Chain A
Amino acid sequence: MADKNIEGSFHLTGGDFTNAGAASSELKSIMTKLNISPHLARRAAIATFEAEMNVIIHAVAGVMYYMITPDCIKVVLNDMGPGIPDIQQAMREGYSTAPDWIREMGWGAGMGLPNMKKNSDEFRIDSVVGEGTTVEIIIKIKEDKTP
């Protein structure tokens, strides 16, 4: 477990499907090195990968910032994207605005935001249409009760 705060960030480029998942994968290996329990690392990886994909699918660019403390894993994604007009609607399972070619790749099933929320202990999303979206994912380390 981390005994001090570890932080860093990754730049994400919209449309860069070839490297999609690289930031989440790197973050997962950082968590593994810090001896964070595998199932917490896995939850974090699922949530961050979905968030990373959303930036790649919808935004021009974004930043994934992470901070790992003895108490929690906190990841904030900030993007320069179209923004979400109705967050409640976007959070609904099955709702997606992804174009057909993204859906043909097996993304855009409207599962991304719900998956992020399910795998987080705290989840926040803020968006301004025409400016971008910020997603905050917190996974608690100390309150972890799952085996």
Chain B
Amino acid sequence: MNIREVMDSLSSDVKTTKGDLGHAVTGCYISDLLSDVMANAKEGEVWITLQTHPNIVAVASLKNLSGIIITNKRTPEEETLKKAEDEHITVAVSPLTTFEAGGLLYKLLRC
């Protein structure tokens, strides 16, 4: 499954244009603690979070994550999207809650 298919299945609104939408998604990590993501997320996973500030892009980039999904329709900061374009990280906003997004992705990626 690639990041475009993941974003579509979560009714996400993709906010960036330069990320690779064909990037393979190997799994998913859900956390709002950035050090936890740094310690435990794995390369290629898509990250679901409520955080909207620019540091999420730096974390996703350093960990080679496949993309970031911000849940509950929270709006990413302008600087976050600018950095995401610079780093070619796909950022999307989903209207779903973290529980709903995680549940759907679990079905898609694990079942």
What is the interface of chain A, defined by CB distance below 8 A to chain B? 17-18, 20-22, 24-25, 28, 42, 45-46, 49-50, 53, 105-107, 109, 111-112, 115, 118
Contacts and interface: CB of A to CB of B under 8 A. Distances in A.
B38 A20 contact: no
A24 B62 contact: yes
A53 B33 CA distance: 13
Contacts, number: 66
A115 B58 contact: no
B95 interface: no
Main secondary structure of the interface of B (DSSP, over half): helix
B38 A46 contact: yes
Contacts of B94: none
B32 interface: yes
A32 B53 CA distance: 27
B40 to A, nearest CB: 10
A105 B31 CA distance: 12
Nearest to A20: B55
B111 interface: no
Main secondary structure of the interface of A (DSSP, over half): helix
Contacts of A25: 58, 61-62, 87
Contact of A49 (B31, B36, B38): B38
B63 A21 contact: no
Given A17-B54, A46-B38, A109 B33 contact: yes
A112 B49 CA distance: 19
A7 to B, nearest CB: 21
Nearest to B37: A106
Contacts of A50: 35, 38
Given A17-B54, A18-B54, A106-B51, A111 B62 contact: no
B34 interface: yes
A118 B54 CA distance: 25
Contact of B79 (A18, A22, A28, A112): A18
B34 A22 contact: no
